[in-house]
Structure 1
Amino acid sequence: MLQFNNDPTLPKPSFPGSHMVMDDHYVFISGLTVADLSNGDAVRGDIQEETRLIMRALQRMLVQEEGSLADVIRVDIHLTDLGDINSVDAIYAEFFEPGRYPARTCTESAHLCGGGSIEITMMAKRATHD
């Protein structure tokens, strides 16, 4: 059965969608930018701090669903400047066990909602309960 949840610590989505959609096997998390986070304005324009703040929020969202970043199987990253990829990777890699990185796509998008430099979307395996 599908569940459609909004993270109570984030502002309600300004778009017709949910922060998270879960089925029996997976958690799908909508793309997050610093504009989605209450403290995001403070780091806007610093790609490493934007990445760190978004990854921490995604990590917290997974914990709310009894998961962790170790359960992530796919990540999509959208950057306003693909030239920032090395700076992003330096922070991104800190959140995963070396050699156990999720499948990933990274694209350049000229404009992201809210004016941030990065948007990250995740798909993770759900914890199983017997």
Structure 2
Amino acid sequence: MATFTNDPTLPAPSFPGSHMVVDDHYVFISGLTVDDLSNGHSAQGDVKEETRLVMRALSRMLEMEGGSLADIVRVDIHLTDLHNIQELDSVYAEYFEPGRYPARTCTESPTICGGSSVEITVMAKRQLPATQ
């Protein structure tokens, strides 16, 4: 059965949704931007720093569920300008083992909620406790 939760370290979503939905097999994390982070506003407009802060927050959220970034199987990324994809990729790649990158979609979305330049959504395989 799925559980619908909000990360207590983040402001409550301003939309009708949850930060995370966890079922028996996966962790789904809603699109996250620096606007969603209490410390992210000063990074707006710096694609590398926005990416870094969002990836750190995603890592922490997955750790709350007993997982890590290595468990991510799918990523959706929205950039306000696809010309900045190399800046994003230079930081994004640091968070994964080379050659073990999740499936990914990256689209240009000229307007991202809150004025951010980067939004990242993930789906991760859930780490289940070992059976005894």
Equivalent residue number for residue 126 of structure 2? 126
Give the aligned length: 130
TM-score for both structures, normalised by structure 1? 0.99
1:67-120 Cα offsets, whole Å, 9 max, x none, are 000100000000000000000000000000000000000000010000000100
TM-score for both structures, normalised by structure 2? 0.97
What residue identity is the alignment partner of 1:40?
A: G
Equivalent residue number for residue 92 of structure 2? 92
Percent identical among aligned pairs is: 72
**How far off is 1:41 after superposition?**
0.8
What residue identity is the alignment partner of 2:125?
A: K
Instruction: State the secondary structure of the residue aligned to 1:127.
Output: coil
Equivalent residue number for residue 83 of structure 1? 83
Alignment of 1:36-75 (within 5 A): 36-75=36-75
2 CA distance for matches of 1:128 and 1:21? 15
**How far off is 1:64 after superposition?**
0.4
2 CA distance for matches of 1:68 and 1:121? 15
What residue identity is the alignment partner of 1:63?
A: E
Structure 1's consecutive aligned runs of 4 or more residues displaced over 6 angstroms after TM superposition are none
2 CA distance for matches of 1:23 and 1:30? 14
Equivalent residue number for residue 22 of structure 1? 22
1 CA distance for matches of 2:118 and 2:42? 15
Q: What is the Cα-based RMSD across aligned positions, in Å?
A: 0.4
**How far off is 1:128 after superposition?**
1.1
Unaligned runs of at least 5 residues, structure 2: none
